[in-house]
Amino acid sequence: MNMFGRAMNAVNGREAEGAAPGADRHGRGAQPPQAVGRAEDDAAVRTGSMAYRGLTGEEPDRDTRRRLGVAAHYAFGAATGALYGLAPTRHSAVRAGYGTLYGTLIWAIADEGLLPAMGLSRGPRSLPAAVVLYSLAAHLVYGATLECVTESIAA
């Protein structure tokens, strides 16, 4: 997903029309364009910062917030990736479309449902269609990558 985002940035100068402004966009997949305010305060950064405050009782500084955002994004990706890897390898509906169904489900449930409901990102009704499509495309890449990795491990 990160490489997909970087490729889109290289081609278009940003992920999609209507993406949240801000410079810090790397390491957090499709979250920065969907941020409520600036890209550097996206859902992953907010989630990591909440965990940090809960553990330390202190507010993280700017560099720590960025690192926490990357860590939160990778932790979520690893957890959902592990769930995919635990799914049956043959005849599993979750593996339909070479993993793209799973990527779509993660996108619909997390990016379009839970994160906006929790106030951590803009929801699909407040996002331009281009940002919604960008996010979906990034998650399709994620799902296909999971399937590719799963197949290579099984081989």
Please state the rounded mean pLDDT for residues 85-109: 88
- Nearest to 120, CA basis, from 13, 28, 16: 28
What confidence score (pLDDT) does residue 86 get? 87
Between 154 and 145, the higher pLDDT residue: 145
Provide the domain limits for residue 138: 2-154
* Total count of domains within the chain: 1
What confidence score (pLDDT) does residue 91 get? 65
Per the CB < 8 A criterion, the answer to whether 127 and 134 are in contact is no
Question: Tokens at residue 90, please?
Answer: 């043959």
What confidence score (pLDDT) does residue 61 get? 97
Residue 88: pLDDT over 80: no
Dmax (CA) for the chain in angstroms is 48
109-145 confidence digits (pLDDT tens): 999 999 999 999 999 999 999 999 999 999 999 999 9
Residue type, 97: G
Please state the rounded mean pLDDT for residues 56-80: 96
Backbone angles phi, psi at 29, to 5 degrees: 55, -130
Single pTM value for the model? 0.91
17-26, 61-70, 77-86: range with lowest mean pLDDT:
17-26
What confidence score (pLDDT) does residue 49 get? 97
Residue 90: pLDDT over 70: no
What confidence score (pLDDT) does residue 38 get? 93
Q: Which residue has the tokens 């860590």?
A: 71
pLDDT, the chain, mean: 92
Q: What percent of the chain has pLDDT over 90?
A: 72
